[in-house]
């Protein structure tokens, strides 16, 4: 007993099939044309439109003509409804999908003197097809059937070759994304709470504790001197709004103020002098 064909195909699968088919066709075409061009560049230039037509025709006959489905559809286990894909519709499908590209290429490369009325017809046809494609796309979003203009004109529908099976979902990848999303949210909540400046000071005190205490005990307050080569003691850049703690070392206002606000025991990174926020002075 034959399984009943599944006429429901999700919109996203139909769109994926179209883009996959374009990419596969482009890869096959470009690879063959590049190889043919390498064999004989002069001959390639002369017969390039015909070579392109032969390749596009071979791709069409090997997919839609033989199996009633493009390569993109085959990857997603889809096909055209074979009952509707009659011989006349196959011929029209070939004419509407393969021949327009050859006609345009022939008009651009073969006519030594471009015929104005012929060029206008091609431009008018391209513009009309563009507008109709846009309108058909909105119709497709509403109905979920016949995603391309050619499919609509020929009355061709996609069917799924999997019996009553819809879009596959890789749950392991979904789980991985959820875990990473939750981890990033935790980091976003935790990182602003961590006082990195205080941790940096504690680690520095733990590693160089004796040296820091020795510098602090012998600290002598000096008047700061601003020169052309003065840099911020904390960030090492040219001081922005230079301020000091009375020890002679100059800081950017933002470097000094931020450290004092986040760490009440902050001391000068060079001499170990400490100061409260209200005693910070400008240079």
- Selection from 277, 267, 151, 251 nearest residue 219 by Cα: 267
Give the span between the Cα atoms of 186 and 164, in whole angstroms: 40
Report how far apart, in Å, the C-alpha atoms of 23 and of each of 19, 28, 148 are: 6, 9, 16
Domains and CATH numbers, the chain: 11-172 (no CATH), 220-282 (3.30.40.10)
Residue 157: name the closest of 78, 92, 91, 87 by CA. 78
Instruction: Give pTM, 2 decimals.
Output: 0.53
Series of mean pLDDT values for 10-residue runs along the chain (283 residues): 63 90 89 82 80 90 90 90 88 92 75 68 88 92 91 91 58 67 79 75 70 47 76 85 83 85 78 72 79
Q: Give the per-residue pLDDT at 112.
A: 53
Could you give the angle at the alpha carbon of 92 between the alpha carbons of 106 and 81, nearest 5°? 135
CA atoms of 268 and 278, how far apart (whole Å): 16
The backbone torsions φ and ψ at residue 78, rounded to the nearest 5 degrees and listed phi first, read -120, 170
Element (H, E) at 251: strand 250-252
Question: What pLDDT is stored for residue 5 in this prediction?
Answer: 61
Q: What is the pLDDT of residue 164?
A: 47
Contact criterion met (CB below 8 Å) for 251 and 242: yes
What integer pLDDT is reported at residue 31 of this predicted model? 86
Q: Which residues contact 94 (CB under 8 A, 6 or more apart)?
A: 57, 60, 64, 65
- Cβ(21)–Cβ(73) under 8 Å? yes
């Amino acid at each position: 007993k034959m399984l009943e064909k599944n006429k429901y195909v999700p919109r996203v699968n139909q769109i994926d099939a179209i883009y996959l088919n374009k990419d596969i066709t482009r890869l096959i075409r470009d690879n063959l044309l590049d190889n043919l061009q390498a064999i004989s560049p002069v001959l390639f230039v002369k017969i390039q439109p015909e070579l392109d037509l032969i390749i596009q025709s071979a791709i069409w006959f090997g997919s839609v003509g033989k199996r009633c489905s493009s390569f993109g559809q085959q990857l997603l286990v889809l096909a055209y409804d074979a009952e509707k894909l009659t011989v006349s519709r196959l011929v029209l499908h070939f004419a509407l999908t393969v021949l327009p590209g050859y006609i345009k290429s022939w008009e651009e490369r073969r006519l030594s003197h471009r015929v104005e009325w012929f060029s206008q017809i091609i431009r008018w046809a391209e513009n009309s097809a563009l507008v109709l494609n846009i309108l058909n796309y909105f119709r497709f979003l509403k109905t979920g059937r016949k995603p391309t203009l050619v499919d609509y004109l020929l009355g061709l529908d996609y069917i799924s070759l999997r019996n009553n099976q819809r879009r596959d979902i890789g749950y392991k990848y979904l789980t991985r994304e959820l875990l990473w999303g939750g981890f990033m949210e935790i980091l976003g909540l935790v990182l602003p709470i961590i006082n990195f400046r205080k941790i940096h000071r504690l680690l520095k005190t733990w590693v160089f504790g004796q040296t820091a205490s020795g510098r602090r005990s012998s600290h002598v307050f000096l008047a700061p001197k601003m020169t052309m080569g003065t840099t911020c003691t904390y960030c090492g850049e040219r001081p922005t709004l230079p301020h000091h703690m009375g020890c002679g070392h100059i800081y950017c206002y933002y470097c000094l103020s931020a450290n004092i606000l986040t760490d009440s025991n902050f001391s000068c990174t060079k001499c170990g002098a400490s100061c409260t926020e209200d005693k910070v002075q400008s240079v």
